[in-house]
Copies of this chain bind each other. A is one copy, B any other.
Amino acid sequence: MNQGNVDAPVVVVIGGGFGGVAAVQALANAPVNVVLIDKENHHLFQPLLYQVATSVLPTSNIAFPIRRIFRDQTNAYVFNDEVVSIDCAARRLTFINDRCARFDYLIVAAGANSSYFGNDQWEQFAPGMKTLDDALIIRNRILRAFEDAEAETDPEAMREHLTFVVVGGGATGVELAGAIKELSVDSLSKDYRRFNAKNARVILIEAGDRLLPSMSARSSHEALKALQKMGVEVRLTQAVTQVDEHGVTVNGETINANTVVWSAGVKASSLGASLGAPLDRNGRVLVEPDCSVINQPHVFVIGDMASIKCAKSGKLVPGVAPAATQMGQFVAKIIADEVRAGSTVRKRKQFAYLDKGSMATIGRAKAVAEVAGLKFHGLIAWLAWLFVHLILLVGFNNRILVFMSWGISYISFSKGSRIISGNPPSRVVSPVGSRAGDSPEDRRKAVAELLQRV
């Protein structure tokens, strides 16, 4: 273990996502102490969260202990704690337990949460999917819905158990809707006696006029076609006006569904509000072209929390992993250069986002991808998606295990992580019979009730 340099400046990084990890890594050779703080102990590969939610992957395959990443980076210190406010002028952070810490430079990379556009009461009925625990909650709800359907004697209630609504037609919504349909068709179809899981209804609702709005119209069309062919019911230009325990209301129609998942929007971490800088309507901090907070050159905001325009296109830099990574590396270089030069007043470069393309997977051998102006779909796009996601996963072991899980899942049509845990059952219904009396007729009825749909 090295002897830390007490006199070197302290760079604090809040958040161990793609942006924060990239920044700490890029500071490896700078004459600074880097302190990374995250309220979780793991870096999360969010692009594969939907595979945890649909029982394809176990949680540990897409999460990696943050401190393990920096095991050999001797100027990096990792703490598992939560920052609740930031005082830019005093260069001070306050933690959830009221203690505080000082920094010389700060990089805020705390990411985003689900946004319900002012209807936060919808969250309990339609959880979003941003953390590992979110994905487990959704996995439990999906699996529990099938269990409840098997135990249900009322046909209408059974249909509600077997109706799954995904709100929001971006990449997450498209991938999740496809994966739920695939789970029901491929993996569950032989496992239930009283209904055919293939007939589970999966509805994807998008308020705009096409899926995957950040991609081309052609990719949107291919995604729509592929989902419809799989049996997903896609509803475009339909806005959700109500979400409650019965389901969702969309264009005045009520869809009764026991499982609703929200992927319609995100808002930046509330930490941005304590920076004293202007925010956009999604809570993102309007930063300078160098990603620093206005009038606070030693404080940077990156990743999903930053509102910054591409110099070339004039469009907002999207809230995706490559953008966060690039910003992290960009601000780390500014800091390293300035610390080495002993000055913070140099003219800084402007952040330039390099768009490496985007992709979304829809199902077995089905995906859409756009790279360098080229558009792919089908098997080629799917293979590209598999390859890119395996490469970007942190940890060699995770790559092997995810590859194995995918291989097994592809070959055997089964999902390995169909485990309900960590949450109490949402509701308990009785499997066999009603409040049976003691007569032989009652007894026969109880059994018949169990078997009538077998």
Residues of A in contact with B (beta carbons under 8 Å apart) = 1-6, 10, 33, 35, 37, 40-42, 58-61, 63, 65, 67-68, 71-72, 77-82, 90, 92, 95-102, 132-133, 136, 143-144, 147, 150-151, 190-193, 397-398, 400-401, 404-405, 408, 412, 414, 416-422, 425, 428-436, 438, 442-444, 446-448, 450-451, 454
Contact = CB atoms under 8 A, between A and B. Distances in A.
A454 B80 contact: no
A433 B35 CA distance: 12
Contacts of A398: 416
A42 B3 contact: no
Contact of A98 (B192, B404, B419, B435): B435
A147 B41 contact: yes
B90 A438 contact: yes
B450 A419 contact: no
Nearest to A434: B99
Contacts of A417: 58, 60
A150 B395 CA distance: 23
A226 B191 CA distance: 45
A419 B191 contact: no
Nearest to A77: B193
A98 to B, nearest CB: 7
A82 to B, nearest CB: 7
Given A40-B420, A95-B428, A400-B408, 9 more contacts: A1-B454, A41-B147, A58-B61, A71-B191, A79-B432, A80-B144, A81-B428, A100-B430, A401-B416
List the 4 shortest-distance A-B pairs measured between CB atoms, nearest first: A99-B430, A79-B431, A101-B432, A58-B58
A446 B101 contact: yes
28 contacts: A6-B444, A10-B450, A33-B450, A37-B431, A58-B60, A58-B417, A59-B419, A65-B418, A67-B191, A67-B192, A68-B191, A71-B190, A77-B193, A77-B431, A80-B144, A80-B147, A80-B150, A81-B431, A99-B435, A100-B436, A101-B433, A101-B436, A102-B442, A133-B422, A397-B408, A397-B412, A398-B416, A422-B422
Contacts of A71: 190-191
A437 B61 CA distance: 43
A450 B41 contact: no
Chain copies in complex: 2
Contact of A420 (B42, B144, B191, B442): B42
Contacts of A190: 71-72
Given A58-B58, A80-B147, A101 B431 contact: yes
A428 B96 contact: yes
Contact of A59 (B58, B65, B79, B90): B58
A136 B422 contact: yes
Contacts of A6: 444, 447-448, 451
B418 A68 contact: yes
A414 B395 CA distance: 11
Contacts of A408: 397, 400-401
B102 A436 contact: yes
A79 B151 contact: yes
A429 B61 contact: no
A421 B136 contact: yes
A447 B10 contact: yes
Q: Which residue of A4, A5, A33, A419 has the most chain B CB atoms within 10 A of its CB atom?
A: A419
A418 B147 contact: no
Contacts of A82: 428
A41 B428 CA distance: 13
A430 B84 CA distance: 12
A245 B59 CA distance: 30
Contacts of A3: 454
A61 to B, nearest CB: 7
A408 B401 CA distance: 9
A38 B182 CA distance: 26
Contacts of A136: 421-422
Contacts of A63: 419, 421
